[in-house]
Structure 1
Amino acid sequence: MSDIALEVSHLTKNFRLHSEKTNSIKQLIAARGRNRFAEFTALDDVSFTVHEGEVFGVIGQNGSGKSTLLKCMAGILQPNSGWVKVHKRMSALLELGAGFHPELSGRDNIFLNAAILGMGRREIAARFDEIVEFSGLESFIDAPVKTYSSGMYVRLAFAVAINVDPRLLIVDEILAVGDVTFQQRCLEKFVEFRNDGRTIVLVTHDLGSVKNMCDRAIWLTHGKITGEGDPSDLVEAYTEMMLGNRNRDVDGRVRRGSGELQISSVELFVGDNPEPVKRFRTSDSIRLRLNYQATKPVPKPIFGFEIQSLGGATVTAPCTRDVGLIPEMVSGEGHIDIEMDSVGLLPGTYDIHTTVTDFNRQHEYDNVHLALRFDVMSGKPYETGALVTMRPQWTIS
């Protein structure tokens, strides 16, 4: 981890935003050669290093400079000042189908794109079958890529990018386009790369992936680094900033939503004990109670909750619509009980977040971040090192 794979030093990138665009020489002469524009700073004195073997995350709102940063790192854009040094063989997967020629077949584009990424023809030919197999496009490899869907573009581009044997892989948000099976393949490949000691720079809005996969991260705001360090801490701060219209109460809960229907409190019960608790043991049966209050009648609300580990990994996130429990109207005060038998959570600290939405899950009446924090103690079966037990039955023969 002491070797540096990538250095970014005092990187600044400006763009011109033209207020009046000239479309002819006549217009340019009439304007006396002046073309009015404003300077927009996409990156402002950004500096950081990425060590070999790290998975490094970049988070931030849309327009914060994430993609501009990656393009500078990949050499697609040249900064106005500062510099980027890449010390390892790099492969960048930034834009959908970047480097592909729409008139060429998938086969020809593999050779073209891999050559752009630095591979020789013999090396490409040796890995061609592996690239096609990973992409899953065997039946379409000789068709022009202009006939491909967006998902097929991504699969082919990713298959080429990871098979140039990079020691440094730069990946933008485009993996969200793939289907569930492809995303799982990508995740497995990332884990394989990480275990192999390769370096990954990942830009994503999937904050769970940042917390679960990244060793370090930076947070960009308007082209500047707002924070750098532990991904869980950064994601927590970023989430609170992004909640908008939030109100923090004395218990540390953060709430947003229109407010007609709210979760007033969350209680946790173990077995038949009528007293609420904040801890239980693995395999205990529990009951979760969501107490609500409505300031006016609300039609067909959907109640949901999410259990997350302290590190941010989501364990479960069910809602009442999943089981068809949809009241025609809710008013006043009441509660919803959720029974969970022999809970398989392993020892650790967990958070519960709650949501109340309309039937289409589009309008939020209430969203409470950190509605309840609880601890799980050792029980049966005794396991460590994960979040949930699958209660395995072992035999040796």
Structure 2
Amino acid sequence: MNITETAVNTEAIISVRDASKRFVLHKDKSIKDRILYFRSREKSRSDFWALRNISLEVEQGQTLGLIGHNGSGKSTLLKLIGGIIDPTSGAVLRRGRVAALLELGAGFHPDLSGRANVYINAAILGLSTAETDLVFDDIVEFSGIGEFIETQVKFYSSGMYVRLAFAVAVHSDPDLLLVDEVLAVGDEPFQQKCMNKIREFQREGRTIVLVSHSAEQVADVCTRAVVLDAGEIVHDGDVGEGIRVLREGYERDRVAAAAKERASADAAEQLAGAVDILAVDVTTADGKAAGAEPIAPGSSLTFTIRARVNSPVDWITGFTLQSMLGQTIYYLNTKGLELETPTAPGDYAISFTLPDVNFGRERLIISAGAETGDGVTIAQLQNAGHLDFAPDPTGGGVVQFAATGAINSVERVS
């Protein structure tokens, strides 16, 4: 049953005006990728709009539930409201003291005690030391931390983190409380204690914005629901209607995911046999087959994938080097080097040359494959061979270096 909203000041405590938030996604996940694919870096970046043209006002005393499926923009909007991040465009206005529980353990220093973190977090929320002294015992009692308040928080469980963080937030006398899903970590008695505190805040006319995946929790405590879908508001108003819209979205996504899975399976079935990966040959700079002897550091290697195109198809191919435990050490494909693979039926040799290789693993397993540009697998050749590398006489690790060192006498510092 929804909590009935009491008479409150109707002046908006939060005003979000046409706010959008963009993030830049990098497909090159490592420094190695950024160097290797430097010429095509612009192609490896894309814009992701987590929020688009969001406008809403929250009046003092309302309890607003932000709901939506994963990736809909709920937490991003909550961070905008809390001032954690700035919008790419638009504006977010708020007034009063804000207490935010946006991430487990956020703002806690792991090497400090619970007591020290209470005072630090309270100061961040705007409390003076004297004000924190007055509520310190209440914070400890509410959190249930007890004697562990003097222990470094890096030894706390996730539940202890949440209990202490929530206790500090609700005792900081906030006008606006922001809560992002963290209550799901605590045990049932603590969750009930938190719900009681939220209801107490409601009676006092404070404003709460709650992100939760629990429809029952939102229906129980919220007076208004905002449903986000792909960064846009699709419902703003009645809680029951908002939950209905949310569940319709879940069903729509389920149907779409099932259709995509069927389409991918159909595409893979249609393309099966379009390309065969016959073998992977590895040769040294002098044209000899690699593998008869351990490969010395600094050698140049050419990997030649022998492929057969049986029917016309747009495809890419490449190879992967893995450790004996299955860890990917290196991979390279025609897309990364901007090589156009032939589509006409026939046999082809696709070569990749790695100059001055310095792998530090004694043995690497070679695999190769072919797929379409959108990731549908056409062919795979697992365990196509292996390479043995001479051990690094000076150091150890995934890579080797021509390492040097020096020892010098230095003047003693008094």
Q: TM-score, normalised by structure 1?
A: 0.59
Q: Distance in 2 between matches of 1:29 and 1:62?
A: 31
Identify the structure with the greater strand proportion: 1
SS at structure 2 position matched to 1:61: coil
Cα distance, 1:34 vs structure 2: 5.3
Cα distance, 1:183 vs structure 2: 0.3
Match for 1:68: what amino acid?
Answer: T
For 1:61-80, what per-residue CA distance to the aligned partner results, in whole angstroms no more than 9, with x for missing partners? 00000001111111111110
SS at structure 1 position matched to 2:51: strand
SS at structure 1 position matched to 2:147: helix
Question: Conserved in 2, the CA contact under 8 Å of 1:22 and 1:35?
Answer: no
Match for 1:58: what amino acid?
Answer: L
For 1:275-326, what per-residue CA distance to the aligned partner results, in whole angstroms no more than 9, with x for missing partners? xxxxxxxxxxxxxxxxxxxxxxxxxxxxxxxxxxxxxxxxxxxxxxxxxxxx
Q: Distance in 2 between matches of 1:132 and 1:152?
A: 11
> 146, 154, 176: which one pairs with 1:168?
176
| 1:179 match | 187
Q: Does 1:143 align with 2:181?
A: no
| 2:11 match | 3
> 61, 72, 86: which one pairs with 1:64?
72
Give aligned-pair identity as a percent. 49
Q: Distance in 1 between matches of 2:115 and 2:91?
A: 36
For 1:21-71, what per-residue CA distance to the aligned partner results, in whole angstroms no more than 9, with x for missing partners? 451799289538858300000001111010011111111000000001111
Match for 1:101: what amino acid?
Answer: H
Match for 1:147: what amino acid?
Answer: F
Change (3 A) 1:163 1:47: same
Question: Conserved in 2, the CA contact under 8 Å of 1:169 and 1:199?
Answer: yes
Q: Distance in 1 between matches of 2:24 and 2:179?
A: 26
Question: Conserved in 1, the CA contact under 8 Å of 2:12 and 2:57?
Answer: yes
Question: Conserved in 1, the CA contact under 8 Å of 2:34 and 2:41?
Answer: no
Q: Does 1:242 align with 2:250?
A: yes
Q: What is the count of residue pairs matched by the alignment?
A: 247
| 1:111 match | 119
Q: Distance in 1 between matches of 2:180 and 2:58?
A: 16
Question: Conserved in 1, the CA contact under 8 Å of 2:97 and 2:125?
Answer: no
Q: Distance in 2 between matches of 1:238 and 1:217?
A: 10
Q: Distance in 2 between matches of 1:245 and 1:4?
A: 34
> 40, 45, 48: which one pairs with 2:56?
48
| 2:101 match | 93
Q: Does 1:84 align with 2:92?
A: yes
| Structure number with bigger Rg | 2
Change (3 A) 1:98 1:31: same
Identify the structure with the greater helix proportion: 2
Cα distance, 1:145 vs structure 2: 0.2
Residue correspondence of structure 1 range 21-40 to structure 2 within 5 A? 21=29, 23=31, 27=35, 30-31=38-39, 36-40=44-48
| 2:412 match | none
Q: Distance in 1 between matches of 2:93 and 2:144?
A: 35
Structure 1 residues not aligned, in runs of 5+: 248-397
Q: TM-score, normalised by structure 2?
A: 0.57
Question: Conserved in 1, the CA contact under 8 Å of 2:60 and 2:207?
Answer: yes
Match for 2:140: what amino acid?
Answer: V
Q: Does 1:231 align with 2:233?
A: no
Q: Distance in 2 between matches of 1:246 and 1:70?
A: 26
Change (3 A) 1:148 1:227: same
Match for 1:151: what amino acid?
Answer: G
| 2:205 match | 197
Cα distance, 1:192 vs structure 2: 0.3
Cα distance, 1:119 vs structure 2: 1.1
CA RMSD of aligned residues (A): 2.2
| 2:133 match | 125
Q: Distance in 2 between matches of 1:233 and 1:26?
A: 47
Q: Distance in 2 between matches of 1:152 and 1:200?
A: 23
Question: Conserved in 2, the CA contact under 8 Å of 1:18 and 1:35?
Answer: no
Q: Distance in 2 between matches of 1:20 and 1:53?
A: 46
Q: Distance in 2 between matches of 1:44 and 1:245?
A: 20
Q: Distance in 2 between matches of 1:9 and 1:245?
A: 29
For 1:164-211, what per-residue CA distance to the aligned partner results, in whole angstroms no more than 9, with x for missing partners? 100110111010000001001001001100011111001101111212
Question: Conserved in 1, the CA contact under 8 Å of 2:235 and 2:245?
Answer: no
Match for 1:178: what amino acid?
Answer: G
Q: Does 1:154 align with 2:168?
A: no
Q: Distance in 2 between matches of 1:197 and 1:163?
A: 15
Q: Does 1:207 align with 2:220?
A: no
Structure 2 residues not aligned, in runs of 5+: 1-7, 256-414
